[in-house]
Amino acid sequence: MSKKKPEVNSIELPVVEGQTLDNGLRVLAVKDRKLPLVNLVLMIEKGAEADEEGKSGQADLALEMLTLGTQRRSSEEIALQVDSLGARLGFSSAWDSSFIELEGLSEDVGSLLDILSDMVLHPVFPLSEFDQLKERRIASLIQDLDESEIVADIQFVQSIFEGSPYGHPRHGTIDSVRSLSLADLEGFHDQYVVADRCVLLVVGDIEPEEIFETAEACLGSLKRGSVTPSQDLISTPKTSHRVVRIIHRSDLTQSQIRMGHPCIQRTSPDHDIFQVANYVLGGGGFSSRLMEKIRSQKGYTYGISSHFKGREQPGPFVISTFTPNENVVAVVGDVLEVLDTFVVEGPTPKELEEAKNFYLGSFPFRFETLPKIAREMLEMER
Domain segments of the chain as ranges: 2-231, 254-347
Whether 116 contacts 41, CB under 8 Å? no
Q: Write down the pLDDT at residue 250.
A: 86
- Phi, then psi, of 12 in degrees rounded to 5: -90, 115
CATH of segment(s) 2-231: 3.30.830.10
H or E element in which residue 298 lies: none
Work out the number of other CB atoms within 10 angstroms of the CB of residue 282: 26
Arithmetic mean of pLDDT, 155-159: 92
Question: Which of 205, 200, 193 minimizes the C-alpha distance to 217?
Answer: 200
Question: Which of 195, 188, 161 minimizes the C-alpha distance to 21?
Answer: 195
Average pLDDT along the chain: 91
pTM: 0.87
Give residue-wise pLDDT tens across range 9-46. 567 788 899 999 999 999 999 999 889 999 999 999 99
> Which amino acid would we find at residue 330?
A
- Phi, then psi, of 372 in degrees rounded to 5: -70, -40
Q: Write down the pLDDT at residue 98.
A: 95
Give residue-wise pLDDT tens across range 197-230. 999 999 999 999 999 999 999 999 999 987 554 4
The strand pair at 11-12 and 7-8 is best described as: antiparallel
Q: Give me the torsion for CA of 308, 310, 313, 317, rounded to 10°.
A: 10
Beta carbons within 8 Å of 60's beta carbon, 6+ residues apart: 48, 92, 93, 98, 170, 171, 172
Strand partners, 204: 31, 38
pLDDT above 50: residue 232: no
Work out the number of other CB atoms within 10 angstroms of the CB of residue 258: 20
Classified by CATH at the fold level, domain 254-347 comes out as Cytochrome Bc1 Complex; Chain A, domain 1 (3.30.830)
Same fold, 2-231 and 254-347: yes
- String of DSSP letters for 185-243: HHHHHHHHSSGGGEEEEEEES--HHHHHHHHHHHHTTPPPPSSPPP-PPPP----SS--
Give residue-wise pLDDT tens across range 281-336. 999 989 899 999 999 999 999 999 999 998 989 999 999 999 999 999 999 999 99
